[in-house]
Amino acid sequence: MTTPTQALGLILDHVRPRPAQRLPLEQVLGLAVAEDQRSPSTVPPFTNSAMDGYAVRAADLAEACGTHPIRLHVLGDLAAGGVARCAVGPGQALRIMTGAPMPEGADSVVPVEDTIRGEAWVQMDRPLRAGIHIRLAGEDLRQGQLLVSAGQGLRPGEIGVLAAAGMASLPVHPRVRVAVLTTGDELVDVSEPPGPGRIRDANIHAVCAQVFACGAIPVPFPRVPDHRETLMEVLRQALENDVVLTTGGISVGDYDFMKAMLEELGAERVFWKVAQKPGGPLGFWMLGGTPIFGLPGNPVAAMLMVEEYVRPALRKLMGFTNLYRPVAEAILEGGWSGKVGDKRTTFLRVTTRREAGVLRARLTGPQGSGILSSMLLANALAVIPEGSDRVEPDGTVWLHLTEEAEDH
């Protein structure tokens, strides 16, 4: 059986970033930039005042003190957005607001709170360091400076910098559209009371939410009954999207048609079944360049598969360099024991917290694959390697930290 590492490797070998598009700055939040972006301009473009105060020549105030205050002649006022019409000469000052360009001749700004203001003069009673309270042209960004690297995700901070540098649009990898299909005769909509033998469709909501959280666009399809022809028809429509995710019907039950239908449609099977718990029957196909993930129906397993396999694939398709969650070592309070001799990797849902600089994890509760409530409060997955059937109380485990920190 394919190991989790092999499965992920196979998936990533089959997907390539979608072609880049130039999009306006207001549409790029969370997307990966397609090429290195260098600043086309110098920021700030001119040397300007960092305070509301007076632009002066520091040398004029060298002798100022409480007993011998110095008065300078005020030439006028300069607001942000204006330009000084005259230079500041010896014995002179210009009243200046934050962000206004420094006038010729002046080298420093005295904050207004350190002055006494008269009719056409201003008085100071202490010297100041030359160059203080001014912002030099180019001290923030140099022209040609690397701002973001290819494959880096754009956050509000990057967007602000790109705007200041004058980049109204940039090449990014677009969001991918992900068809999400849930299958099963037993499923009803969350808004319906489930009749005898029926259950609510949790996957359509959980999986679409995960896809959305990856920065992709979920395209939910109406629930598909366990009926060959209907499934075939819906799969055809789903294949109009960039990626197809299906849940259920992928196992070996009498009504599990997913594998057969995909292969009848001509999809190339890359693998089916991964040696992991929860999970197992994860299938991955390619059809005409479209990746298709057949996820198990079991909601815990389906979500785990999206987290571990679909998310890195979507990130690769969307051009991100960093495909994975942060990994960290933690102490597993209470330990864990599984099936002796199990050859599968186990993913445990845990709640993690940092205490005195040490990560401590605790199981979210019972870990059965039917226990969806194990997702509540989970902020990491503990990965127990194959062949390991127990973790001693306070033993160490590796975590995939799933809590959104940066991402897309």
Phi, psi for residue 46 in degrees, rounded to 5: -145, 155
| Nearer of residues 202 and 331 to ligand AMP, judged by Cβ | 202
Cα–Cα nearest to 320, from 170, 159, 173, 167: 173
Residue 4 within binding range of ligand AMP, rule CB under 6 A? no
Site string for Mg ion, 244-263 (x = CB under 5 A): ----xx--------------
Q: Omega before 278 cis (within 30°)?
A: yes
Question: What is the closest distance, in whole angstroms, from the C-beta atom of residue 322 to ligand AMP in the complex?
Answer: 30
CA 243, 248, 251, 255 torsion: positive or negative?
A: negative
Cα–Cα nearest to 336, from 300, 367, 359, 314: 367
Site string for ligand AMP, 248-267 (x = CB under 6 A): xxxx-x--------------
Partner in contact with 333, chosen from Mg ion, ligand AMP, none, beta carbon below 5 to 8 Å by kind: none
| Nearer of residues 48 and 182 to ligand AMP, judged by Cβ | 182
Q: Which of 2, 39, 182, 241 binds ligand AMP (CB under 6 A)?
A: 182
Residue 364 within binding range of ligand AMP, rule CB under 6 A? no
Residue 184 within binding range of Mg ion, rule CB under 5 A? yes
Instruction: Calculate Rg over the CA atoms of the chain.
Output: 31
Residue 297 within binding range of ligand AMP, rule CB under 6 A? yes
- What CA–CA distance (Å, rounded) separates 350 from 395? 14
Q: Which stretch binds Mg ion (CB under 5 A): 172-180, 265-273, 291-299, 391-399?
A: 291-299
Residue 115 within binding range of ligand AMP, rule CB under 6 A? no
Phi, psi for residue 11 in degrees, rounded to 5: -60, -50
| Contact assessment for residue 182 and residue 250, using Cβ atoms and an 8 Å cutoff | no
Residue 278 within binding range of ligand AMP, rule CB under 6 A? no
Cα–Cα nearest to 175, from 153, 159, 157: 153
Token code pair at residue 153: 């995700």
Cα–Cα nearest to 270, from 259, 257, 254, 261: 259
Site string for ligand AMP, 212-251 (x = CB under 6 A): -----------------------------------xxxxx
| Nearer of residues 272 and 320 to ligand AMP, judged by Cβ | 272
Site string for ligand AMP, 184-213 (x = CB under 6 A): x-xx-----------x-xxx----------
Using CB under 6 A as the binding criterion, the count of chain residues that bind ligand AMP stands at 18
Residue 174 within binding range of ligand AMP, rule CB under 6 A? no
Helix (H) / strand (E) element for 1: namely none
How buried is residue 378: exposed, middle or buried, by Cβ count under 10 Å (0-12/13-18/19+)? buried
- What CA–CA distance (Å, rounded) separates 145 from 139? 12
| Nearer of residues 17 and 297 to Mg ion, judged by Cβ | 297
Residue 294 within binding range of ligand AMP, rule CB under 6 A? no
Q: Which of 296, 297, 299, 319 binds Mg ion (CB under 5 A)?
A: 297
The distance from CA 133 to its chain's CA centroid, rounded to whole angstroms, is 36
Token code pair at residue 279: 């999970």
Question: What is the closest distance, in whole angstroms, from the C-beta atom of residue 179 to Mg ion in the complex?
Answer: 18
Instruction: Give the interface with ligand AMP as residue ranges (CB under 6 A).
Output: 182, 184, 186-187, 199, 201-203, 247-251, 253, 296-299
